[in-house]
Amino acid sequence: MKSNARKELISWIITIGLAFIIALFIRTYIFELVDVPTGSMLNTIQLNDKFIENKFIYRFEPIKRGDIVVFRYPDDPSVNFVKRVIGIGGDTIEIKNGILYRNGVAIKEPYLKEPMDKNGVFGPYKVPPNHYFMMGDNRNQSLDSRFWQHRYVSKDAILGKIVFRIWPINNIGSMAGK
């Protein structure tokens, strides 16, 4: 009887250990739960919304303008940020009279919380190869590439793409096209 209890205990320890290793692998390399504690992405992302971040998607497809990504903040890599990709390597970004221009073309941004302050003039910024220019959707309240000491996010600093909202329940759904 003692031998069976011992075997059962060892079986449980191995099962729990294996489950822990698998969960750690998934969280590290595939998917992770992301909480957004600030209002810099309003109205696309509300305070304390929770999302699933796809950590492997950029191994199979390029980072695109408009993607909402999780990345290491260039001025303090111990902090992760969530912002929208506005410019990719080679783009020139400029803001004049509250309008975003990419490569000299005014960009329509239906996701913005409100129009940008018309007094704000930023740029032009030439995005280096393998780097990205990031901005929040709540432009008048966002600490983003316009204000950072290290203005651009390197490809290596991008951790993943926000793909699915899981909280609040009444807003569950894909983030594609947001």
Which residues belong to the active site? 40, 83
Residue type, 122: F
φ, ψ of residue 109 to 5 degrees: the values are -130, 80
Helix, strand, coil percentages, rounded to 5, for the chain: 20, 35, 45
How many angstroms separate the CA atoms of 15 and 33, rounded?
24
Bridge partners of 161? 54, 69
